[in-house]
Structure 1
Amino acid sequence: MEETSAGGDRRRTAEQPPSTAEGVPKKRLRVMVAVDESDASLYALKWTLSNLFNKPAGGEDPEVEPDPEQGMVTVVHVVQPFERYTFPAEAAMYTSASMVESVRKAQRQTAAQLVSRAFQVCKETKIKAETLILEGDPKEMICQAVEEMHFDLLVLSSRGFGAIKRALLGSISDFCAHHAKCPVLIVKPPGHK
């Protein structure tokens, strides 16, 4: 409810929720940042933290806790499943179960280290963050997670594939830009052509 003072100023009463200058209630931003082993994805995470979130009033004080009012970043990494069969030029080869388990273990360790490093970057900037490791096709798993968890924004890095490589391998950022159920921001690293 608004009241008008004798001078014509409008004031909000305590019954109304706080709002922004435009009169729209402030919403906590929920952002998913997809990371992989590339430096470009770490750059995209750092760009997101410094450009989309305000730093808390405490500045560089290590005792200041993340402010949940700023929103939250979810760092996601998708591990591609290791295929038991490989197809060299001459004949199909079968990979042993112990070899498959060894590769999967290495993938899990790499994924854990990667999201741990990304989480540390978030922690240093005092932004509330969580991590998520998924398994499957990265393009589809990212879009599925966005839809299921209702993110406001998906941030991806551009790896700079040329037209031929993009046509053969497909571009995760291109796929997500067309299929994700939220706005998508593709961050290009400095010097990217």
Structure 2
Amino acid sequence: MEAMEFPKRHVLVSVDDSAASVKALEWAVDNISRAGDEFHLFHVIPPGQYVVLSTDLGMEEVVEDDAGTRKRVEDHARNMIMDKFVPKLKAKDLQYQVELVRFATDNESIGAVICKRAEQLQASCIVMAKHNKGAIKEFFVGSVCNYCTHHAKQPVLVMHCD
């Protein structure tokens, strides 16, 4: 009997340095992956600038990171992904792409860039971990998961990890 062939699917996994992200990827690999799928490990890095504030909290200047600092931040992110996430995909012989994006790192901005990338890929789903921030903090700060579940055109799989 011949093995059934499926069309290639793209699965976008939003990853960070948390154990919850690792658990979300593990669940997706064990429960929704199939031969031929390609996982996109998507990580957002803050833009290479910071604001210097004066003592009266007035904005003094915007300082750009130098090339060396940017490279160190990117290398750290890439190494974190290669150490924590890639072995889980390799163990199941799954294709993957590591995608590092420099973008604003507030919850709404991260959510918007995740939704945009999922749309570009025509991803079969977005996989993300929900971090337990507490109801009050989430009410005021919001969450990336909340943004994605309300704005993504693709299905969003949210793993509730503690």
Q: Against the structure 1 CA distance between its residues 105 and 122, is the aligned structure 2 distance closer, same or farther, given a 3 Å change threshold?
A: same
Superposed CA RMSD in Å reads 2.5
- Residue aligning to 1:126: 93
1:80 to 40, 46, 53: 46
Count of residues paired in the alignment? 153
Larger Cα-atom Rg: 1
Q: Deviations over 1:77-102 (max 9, x none)?
A: 111214331447633354654xx225
Structure 2 counterpart SS, 1:84:
strand
Which is strand-richer, 1 or 2? 2
Q: Deviations over 1:14-51 (max 9, x none)?
A: xxxx9x8xxxx944332111101111111111111011
TM-score (norm 1): 0.69
Normalised TM-score (structure 2): 0.80
Label 1:114 to 1:163 Cα distance change in 2 as closer, same or farther (>3 A).
same
Q: Which residue of 1 aligns with 2:153?
A: 181
Equivalent in 48, 53, 71 of residue 33 of structure 2 = 53
- Measure, in 2, the Cα distance between the counterparts of 1:96 and 1:135: 16
More deviation in 159-168 or 178-187? 159-168
Q: Higher RCO, 1 or 2 (CA under 8 Å, sep at least 6)?
A: 2
Q: How does 1:130-145 map onto structure 2 within 5 Å?
A: 130-136=97-103, 137-145=109-117
Q: Quick one: distance in 2 between partners of 1:167 and 1:106?
A: 34
The CA deviation string for residues 133-161 of structure 1, in whole angstroms up to 9 with x for no partner, is 11213211111101111101000001112
CA distance in 2, matches of 1:153, 1:38: 20
SS in 1 for 2:47: coil
Written as runs of structure 1 = structure 2, the 5 A alignment for 1:16-165 is 26-54=6-34, 67-68=35-36, 71-87=37-53, 90-91=56-57, 92-94=59-61, 96-97=63-64, 100-101=65-66, 103-117=69-83, 118-136=85-103, 137-165=109-137
